[in-house]
Structure 1
Amino acid sequence: MNLCDYCGDEIFQHQRVIVYHKDVDVRYVTQQDCIPVDFECVTVTVCGEGDNIKYLKKGSLLPEGFQRVSVSVRDWDVNYAWKQDLRPKGFEQVSVYSRNGAIKYARKGDIPPTGFYHVSVYAKNEEIKYEREGRHIPVGYEEVAVYVKTEDILYTRQGETVPTGSEHADVYVKDKDITQVKCLQVKEAFHTECLEKHIPRRDEAVRKFLKNVSPKCNVLSTGLHVKYLFGVGKEKQDKPRKKKEKRDCKAAELLRKVSALRNSNSGYILVHFVGLAPGDSFTGAFDEFADPKLHDLIQDGKQFCDVYRKETLKSHCACKDFGDFLVLYVGAASTVTTSRFNTKTTFDDCIIDIPAATLKTFVRERKAFKETFHTIPGVTHADDLLNVRENRSLQLKSNFEQKEGDQALAEYIIKNLKLAEYISAFTKTECGGSYLYGVHEENCFLEGYGYETKVIRIQPVVLRDRTAFKDTLEDNIGNLVLVCDYDGNEVSPDPNIFQVQFIPSTAAKKECDPRVNCESGNHGHGDVDPVVVHVSARPVSGIVFYDKQGPLAYRYDKQFKLITRINIKDWVRALTRRRETPE
């Protein structure tokens, strides 16, 4: 799903491509090539349903069930890219500089790194080259653009490909390592209406507002389509999950900007209600959407009313024509404001997002834990788990999902059952914690007593290849988590903070015929006995984040008009800095 970066609504763009045809013969030719002999150029719409591709003349209606696609060509291979094959959202273009073979990336508006000169970037298939600006393009290569999102880089292609193998590409960064990924078709992440109407109107509103307050103020803006705030007609209503995804996307953008202003001595956000009916002055839907999230960003003990103020933009005399804008004032914070901590702590029955004050105390105390993995005493078979109960160091997960393949099950546990988040929470306890997959707490009514309690039921899982399952868990968690010491230094390579074990099922043991040898391998191919998966985490003298990005906190650079990430070392120092008390 591709969402407009401005209003947050879903983008359904019509892709038109130029093809050359002669009778029923169709050829794809890049812009640099000559038209084939006896072929004519026509503009058509290319659409697809599954593997079925149709070509429609300009103005024709789209067949039922089909969607428009873009077309790219490399050598003799034709690639059809549907609308989900897009450039990742939230990236901004950067410049590339070089010195003695070293490469640095600078965001638009940044001062070039000292001693570095600007270079052009070229791509051929999956190979990247850097050449000093103004030099000749390497043979077979094409110039590419470079984008960056915080500290992450990713490679993706843009535009049509050419038969020689060269492809125009965008360059991205991921975890400071340059990697290359599959060629993807890139499209603008904006509605045409937003580009031509809403964004220019937003820019005009910002200019007039700055004149009305002070040019020195920090002023940011965001667009938000009203259909994700207000109720809509049943015939146009999104499915709840889809609507939540769109709301979450805009909420993350809002919190990033609020964090930046709180960490940059205050400022204003102009909220543009895209699609608001003329004369509608109701803002309660935005309050319901934003206020709980804004309250979570008050991490210095202040009251909501002391941090935020709201007013309509038209209340300013120079902005009478902007009734669809709300002005949100954001006060400065006395400590670093973090939009997402990306780490958890434990209750006795669940894990929760860790409050700022709790995390601050945890880092200041600098506890030195013993690096021993959590154990469950007396458990050798699954039936030994019938008397366990969830607590701050033990969490149970039911085996309700039937997945095709051990690797698919491992990925489900990580993605849907939040294993990395549980590990991050367990590492903050003195003894670590255990995560059991295949144990269910079932409601049970006690006859004669008149109330309902819970009993343990074992739901073991059959793994065909425990080694593949274990490797998938370990590799995925290793790629997800970030382990830092109390000063924000990344522990590299990542320490072994969890172990994957298998508890054999008693049910499988009882089914064995005593006259038959029931022994089977327990650590490789051919494992078919049901087991309970036991992931044991150890305590860590530091902070474990369940996302490689670490904590998300931002600043606003007014000079270059950029929102930048606060690096983790500066974040830790700001988090733990003690306020100076006046004498």
Structure 2
Amino acid sequence: MILCDYCGDEIHPDSQRVYHKDVDVRYVTLQDCIPEDFECVNVTVFGEGDNIKYLKNGSLLPEGFQRVSVSVRDRDVKYARKQGQLPEGFEQVSVYTRNGEVKYARKGDISPTGFDHVSVYAKNEEIKYEKEGQHIPVGYEHVTVYVKTEDILYTRQGKRVPTGSEPADVYVKDKDITQVKCLQVKKEFHTECLEKHIPRRDEAVRKFLNNVSPKCNVLSTGVHVKYLFGVGIEEQDKSKKKEKRDCKAAELLRKVSALRNSKSGYILVHFVGLAPGDSFTGAFDEFADPKLHDLIQDGKQFCDVYRKETLKSHYACKDFGDFLVLYVGAASTVTTSRFNTKTTFDDCIIDIPAETLRTFVRERKTFKETFHRIPGVTHADDLLNVRENRSLQLKSNFEQKGGDQALAEYIIKNLKLAEYISAFTKTECGGSYLYGVHEENCFLEGYGYETKVIRIQPVVLRDRTAFKDTLEDNIGNTVLVCDYDGNEVSVKDEIIFQVHFIPCTPAEEEVYLRENCESVNHRHGDVDAVVVHVSVRPVSGIVFYDKQGPLAYRYDKQFKLITRINIKDWVRALTRRRETPE
């Protein structure tokens, strides 16, 4: 399912598509200084379909790719195949990168010291850079980049491209960046949103700024009313509606976080599809208020942080009855839209509250680096008397499908193993995650109540090594481990969990050694019935179940850009004593 990035409604395959680069891109304009430690290399951009690659000038063009031009307007980036055809309202930029970080500078800026001139090539969303004089990579094409706010648009040669922009130079630091993929987030819009709703949004923002103050931070978001109001009776429709609402909720929280961390501002909420004369906004309140309340992490009241009013209540904006103005007050501490880490209850794990995490980091506890053990367990039958608690969680193996690697991926994706690991690392003794143990309801005759009993549901593995390697590699690529100062710790260097196998076969046939929780006979290639045991140790630091770490943002009004707060700055802001916002 493809969703319109503006209104959130579903896009049909024949709809117009627009793509953009994620907010980790840095743009440098004419008046900006070149970032410290950056050097400049001119790159050329190449595209094939929706794939983009940057290559240093003269490099071999990738097979199936062609050159596109690059231009900028504010912070949106567009790619066009034919040079000289510029997107409307865009201008030429130079692009600078450092360790995957990209910045754009308008044409005529001084190149950063130490950068090489490169060409940029594109293939779908993959970017390649090649030095001048090198061959174009096989399968790639040269592209030109156009920038406007945070969006990157790709326009193919011979097709209509926006006007008012200039081609851009692209710069990179890493000489070996040819093989590095440039991470991008694809945005797509309805043609109606591009031609009607987005221009109307821009006009509303302009008039509102003139009415309040041009110095104010003003952001906007659109949401189709049918995902706020009661539409969708079938279960499938409800599932789709939830996905669309979740997508718009994430966008709203990102922008609220950015404004709370940037001395306040306004969000214009455009109710796409609202009937003329309908002034009911209660559906948005129901949708947004609980989420907005979660972003009050400095002890204030909801009414002191947020205000709402219709945009038409401003005289200059009386024709915009389908817009709501949400005022967002400044925070006295960093506001995080998603912490991406968990803590434990005795029967489950939960999102950790901001104040709890703040206290945890300030206390800087030092834990013993010992992995959690389950005393007395050498065989699956020994688990019949265990019970879930803050350091022990049981997961059922109802229906095992696919091979060993598929099972490992299922446990990570559907049974939230990374989230449990992040929670267990905050306890003094760590924790154990058992897959293949089920708590079954059992009615006690004569006593008149229902309790739970343990049932073993053996996990059948043909190759433990393949299963274990998949589990470890996926978790290693998923979690982020940091010390209390926000310095990243390599999961390979600091092992935080171990995968073991508790045998379900008779103990005399296969001994499970308690000393190292490892089976003597792995019997690679044979069917093996076990309970999977993931043992987690406590960590003197913070473990996030998402490689992104905490999601907290700032808004740069000068460049009209929402940027992530890096984790070191986030930790400092989180633990700093509260100050009264300016």
TM-score (norm 2): 0.75
The separation in 2 between residues aligned to 1:441 and 1:233, in whole angstroms, is: 35
CA 229–377 in structure 1, closer or farther in 2 if over 3 Å, else same: same
Task: Determine the C-alpha separation between the residues in 2 that align with 1:327 and 1:283.
Answer: 11
8 Å CA contact 2:41–2:170 kept in 1: the answer is: no
CA contact (8 A) 2:92 2:168 kept: no
Q: Spell out, residue by residue over 1:523-548, the C-alpha distance to the aligned partner (whole angstroms, 9 max, x if none).
A: 35223231000000000000011111
Superposed displacement of residue 448, structure 1: 1.0
- Gaps spanning 5+ residues in structure 2: where? 12-18
CA distance in 1, matches of 2:523, 2:170: 40
Query: Following TM superposition, by how much is the alpha carbon of 1:30 offset from its aligned partner in structure 2, in angstroms?
Result: 35
- Give a deviation string over 1:226-271, Cα, whole Å, max 9, x none: 11111126589724xx221111111100000000000000000000
Give, in whole Å, the separation in 2 of the partners of 1:130 and 1:534. Answer: 44
Q: Alpha carbons of 1:170 and 1:324: their partners in 2 closer, same or farther (altered >3 Å)?
A: farther
Asked which structure has the greater RCO (Cα within 8 Å, sep 6+), the reply is 2
> Matched residue pairs, number?
572
SS in 1 for 2:343: strand
Contact 2:47 / 2:53 at 8 angstroms: preserved in 1? yes
Distance 2:397 2:159 in 1: 46
Query: Who is 1:14 aligned against?
Result: none
C-alpha separation between the residues in 2 aligned to 1:458 and 1:327?
Answer: 56
- The verdict on how the C-alpha distance between 1:209 and 1:435 changes in structure 2, with shifts beyond 3 A counting, is same
Deviations 1:143-199 (A, max 9, x none): 236799999999999999999999999999999995869999998611000000000
SS at match of 1:65: coil
Secondary structure at 1:88's aligned position in 2? coil
Cα distance in 2 between the residues matched to 1:474 and 1:7? 39
Q: Cα gap change, 1:568/1:124 in structure 2, threshold over 3 Å: closer, same or farther?
A: closer
Deviation of residue 432 (structure 1)?
A: 0.4
Relative to structure 1, the CA distance from residue 41 to residue 393 in structure 2 (aligned partners, 3 Å threshold; closer, same or farther) is closer
1:117/1:53 CA distance change after superposition, 3 Å: closer
- What does the per-residue CA deviation read over 1:489-542, in whole Å, with 9 as the maximum and x for residues that have no partner? 0113x5110000000015797999999999998435223231000000000000
How far does the alpha carbon of each residue in 1:254-289 deviate from its partner, in whole angstroms, 9 at most, with x for none?
A: 000000000000000000010111111111111111
Change (3 A) 1:79 1:535: farther
Partners of 1:38 and 1:578 in 2: CA distance: 32
* Partner SS state of residue 162, structure 1: coil
RMSD of equivalent CA atoms = 12.3
Q: 1:194 to 1:478 in 2, by over 3 A?
A: same
1:404 deviates by 1.0
Do the aligned partners of residues 83 and 297 (structure 1) sit closer, same or farther apart at CA in structure 2, a change above 3 Å counting?
farther
Judge conservation of contact 1:311–1:327 (CA < 8 Å) in 2.
yes
Residue in 1 aligned with 2:473?
475
How big is the shift at 1:96? 2.4
Give 1:549 deviation, angstroms: 0.6
Give the structure 2 partner of residue 32 of structure 1: 31
Q: Which moved more, 1:561-570 or 1:170-179?
A: 170-179
Aligned position for 1:214: 213
Matches of 2:23 and 2:97, distance apart in 1:
50
CA contact (8 A) 2:94 2:171 kept: no
Q: Contact between 2:95 and 2:105, CA under 8 Å: does it hold in 1? A: yes
> CA distance change for structure 1 residues 319 and 447 in 2, over 3 Å: closer, same or farther?
same
Query: Could you tell me whether the CA contact under 8 Å between 1:343 and 1:353 is conserved in 2?
Result: yes
Contact persistence 1:70–1:185 (CA under 8 A): no
Alignment correspondent of 1:58: 57
Q: Mapping of 1:10-49 within 5 angstroms? A: 10-11=10-11
Q: For 1:35-434, what aligned pairs fall within 5 Å after superposition?
A: 95-97=94-96, 113=112, 116=115, 119-122=118-121, 130=129, 142-144=141-143, 189-232=188-231, 234=233, 238-239=237-238, 242-434=240-432
Partners of 1:437 and 1:532 within 8 A in 2: yes
Mapped to 1, the partners of 2:86 and 2:506 lie a distance apart of: 50
Contact 1:375 1:434 in 2 (8 A): yes
Q: CA deviation at 1:23?
A: 46
User: Structure 1 residues 225, 118: closer, same or farther in 2, change over 3 A?
Assistant: farther
The CA deviation at 1:315 is 1.0
Larger CA deviation: 272-281 vs 120-129: 120-129
Listed one character per residue, the Cα deviations across residues 111-168 of structure 1 (whole Å, up to 9, x for unaligned) are 9756658754135899976468999989996323679999999999999999999999
Q: In 1, distance between residues paired with 2:265 and 2:518?
A: 69
The answer to whether the 8 A contact 1:125-1:167 is kept is: no
Look up the SS of the partner of 1:161 in the other structure: coil
Q: Mean alpha-carbon deviation: is it higher for 144-153 or for 474-483?
A: 144-153
Residue 28 of structure 1 contacts residue 73 of structure 1 at CA under 8 Å; is this kept in 2? no
Q: Would the aligned equivalents of 1:428 and 1:540 in 2 still touch at CA under 8 Å? A: yes
2:62–2:137 CA contact under 8 A, matched in 1: no
CA shift, 1:414, in A, is: 0.1
| Range 435-444 or range 68-77, more displaced | 68-77
How far has the Cα of 1:471 moved from its partner? Answer: 0.2
Aligned-pair identity in percent equals 91
Q: CA shift at 1:316, angstroms? A: 1.0
CA distance in 1, matches of 2:99, 2:159: 33
Alpha-carbon contact 1:407-1:468 (below 8 Å) kept: yes
The structure-2 alpha-carbon separation of the partners of 1:440 and 1:228, relative to structure 1 and needing over 3 Å to count, comes to: same
SS of 2:554's equivalent in the other structure is strand
Q: Distance in 2 between matches of 1:203 and 1:381?
A: 66
Assess, with a 3 A threshold, how the Cα gap between structure 1 residues 488 and 251 changes in structure 2: closer, same or farther.
same
Are 1:337 and 1:553, in contact at CA under 8 Å, matched by a contact in 2?
Answer: yes
For 1:165 and 1:10, the matched residues in 2 are separated by 30
Distance 2:530 2:52 in 1: 47
Distance 1:36 1:209 in 2: 33
The 8 Å contact of residues 140 and 165 in structure 1, kept in 2 or not, is answered as: no
Aligned partners of 1:373 and 1:432 also within 8 Å = yes
Inter-partner Cα distance in structure 1 for 2:232 and 2:64: 24
Rate the CA distance shift 1:277–1:354 in 2: closer, same or farther, 3 A: same
The one-character-per-residue Cα deviations of 1:289-318 (angstroms, maximum 9, x if unpaired) are 111110100000001111001111111111
Asked whether the equivalents of residues 45 and 55 of structure 2 are also in contact (C-alpha less than 8 Å), the reply is yes
Task: Specify whether residues 487 and 140 from structure 1 end up closer, same or farther in structure 2 by C-alpha distance, changes over 3 A only.
Answer: closer
Aligned CA distance change for structure 1 residues 432 and 451 (closer, same or farther; 3 Å) = same
Match of 1:437 among 435, 438, 442: 435
> Any idea what SS the aligned residue of 2:357 has?
helix
Distance 1:475 1:543 in 2: 20
The Cα of 1:25 is off from its aligned counterpart by 46
What do residues 77-134 of structure 1 show as CA deviations (whole Å, max 9, x unaligned)?
9999999999999999985237999986679999975665875413589997646899
Residue by residue over 1:42-76, the C-alpha shift from the partner in whole angstroms, topping out at 9 and shown as x without a partner, is 99999999999999999999999999999999999
Cα deviation 1:201-234 (Å, max 9, x = unaligned): 0011111111111111100000001111111265
C-alpha offsets along residues 311-331 of structure 1, whole Å, 9 cap, x if unaligned? 111111111111111100000
Structure 1: stretches of 5+ with no match in the other structure = 12-19
Change (3 A) 1:174 1:371: farther
Q: Which range is displaced more, 289-298 or 46-55?
A: 46-55
Q: Is the deviation greater in 474-483 or in 207-216?
A: 207-216
Deviates more, 1:542-551 or 1:182-191: 182-191
Contact 1:551 1:568 in 2 (8 A): yes
Q: Are 2:77 and 2:151, in contact at CA under 8 Å, matched by a contact in 1?
A: no
Partner deviation per Cα, 1:459-512 (whole Å, 9 max, x = no partner): 1111001000000000000000111000000113x5110000000015797999
